[in-house]
């Protein structure tokens, strides 16, 4: 049986959402963060050496990493859903945005979070570099969503599922204002209208209102 091990308010919300979109049967086990460290509890860390979210178990398989889990589940259960055909004109764009989420967007936000927690002065060159890079990355997303309703094109895809956490729940850890990004805000309203997204967020983090604005 597939089990999604969900660390509250984490990137594992992507996996719950994917399962809801594809109607994949799964069990959901929720773990609360340590109130002091805000990290996973010991029983969560025991699942995988890194103890990072997300983690799934499927029979004897223990799998971490968002994109690895998503590709695994889509290959086993997706029947081509949420991924453009290799012959489609937007297949390359899909691949770019699918990997952009964890290859570029989330790492840049993570660096911003660390720098902010260090309380380095705003005129520090490292701070200026990180801030400028974050703005550049968000500008790219904003520009793309001014061209298309979804990241891979006109249709919703797995590229959207892997990206939305960085624009929403990540802001619990790194508050940033989306007012300068009207295309992103409109996009998040389209995401929030999806039944599968609402179900996933209600199941995974029922005490949190999705940060869609």
CATH code 3.40.718.10 for 91-194: no
pLDDT surpasses 80 at 37: no
Q: Are 115 and 126 in contact (CB under 8 A)?
A: yes
What is the CATH code for 2-82+198-204?
3.40.30.10
114 prior amide bond cis, ω within 30? no
List, in order, residues 6 or more apart from 157 with CB less than 8 Å away: 82, 83, 84, 94, 98, 150, 151
More confidently predicted of 40 and 164: 164
Q: For the chain, what percent of residues have pLDDT higher than 90? A: 83
Longest dimension (CA), the chain: 52
Q: How confident is the model at residue 186 (pLDDT cuts 50, 70, 90)?
A: very high
Return the structure tokens found at 18: 């994917």
φ, ψ of residue 205 in degrees (nearest 5): -140, 70
pLDDT surpasses 90 at 199: yes
Alpha helices in the chain (DSSP H): 13-22, 42-45, 66-77, 91-100, 106-117, 125-147, 158-167, 182-192, 195-204
φ, ψ of residue 6 in degrees (nearest 5): -100, 115
> Range(s) for CATH 1.20.1050.10 in the chain?
91-194
Return the structure tokens found at 16: 């719950």
> Range(s) for CATH 3.40.30.10 in the chain?
2-82+198-204
Provide the whole-model pTM: 0.95
- 2-7, strands of its sheet edge to edge: 27-31, 2-7, 55-58, 61-64
Q: How confident is the model at residue 39 (pLDDT cuts 50, 70, 90)?
A: confident
List, in order, residues 6 or more apart from 15 with CB less than 8 Å away: 4, 6, 54, 56, 66, 69, 70, 73
pLDDT surpasses 90 at 38: no
**By CB neighbour count within 10 A (0-12 exposed, 13-18 middle, 19+ buried), where does 105 fall?**
buried
Q: What is the mean pLDDT of residues 165-179?
A: 97
Q: Report the mean per-residue pLDDT for the chain.
A: 95
List, in order, residues 6 or more apart from 75 with CB less than 8 Å away: none
């Amino acid at each position: 049986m597939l089990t999604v091990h969900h660390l509250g308010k984490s990137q594992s919300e992507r996996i719950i959402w994917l399962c809801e979109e594809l109607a994949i049967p799964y069990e959901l086990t929720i773990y609360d963060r340590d109130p002091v460290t805000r990290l996973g509890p010991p029983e969560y860390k025991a699942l995988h050496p890194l103890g990072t979210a997300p983690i799934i178990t499927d029979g004897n398989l223990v799998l971490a990493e968002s994109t690895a889990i998503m590709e695994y589940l889509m290959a086993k259960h997706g029947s081509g859903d949420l991924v453009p055909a290799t012959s489609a004109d937007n297949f390359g764009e899909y691949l770019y945005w699918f990997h952009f989420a964890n290859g570029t967007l989330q790492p840049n936000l993570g660096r911003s979070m660390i720098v902010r927690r260090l309380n380095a002065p705003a005129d520090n060159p490292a701070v200026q570099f990180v801030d400028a890079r974050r703005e550049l990355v968000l500008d790219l997303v904003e520009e793309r969503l001014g061209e298309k309703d979804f990241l891979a094109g006109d249709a919703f895809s797995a590229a959207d599922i892997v990206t939305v956490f960085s624009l929403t729940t990540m802001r619990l850890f790194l508050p940033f204002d989306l007012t300068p990004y009207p295309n992103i805000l409109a996009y998040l309203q389209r995401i929030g209208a999806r039944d599968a997204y609402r179900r996933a967020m209600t199941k995974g983090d029922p005490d949190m209102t999705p940060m869609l604005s």
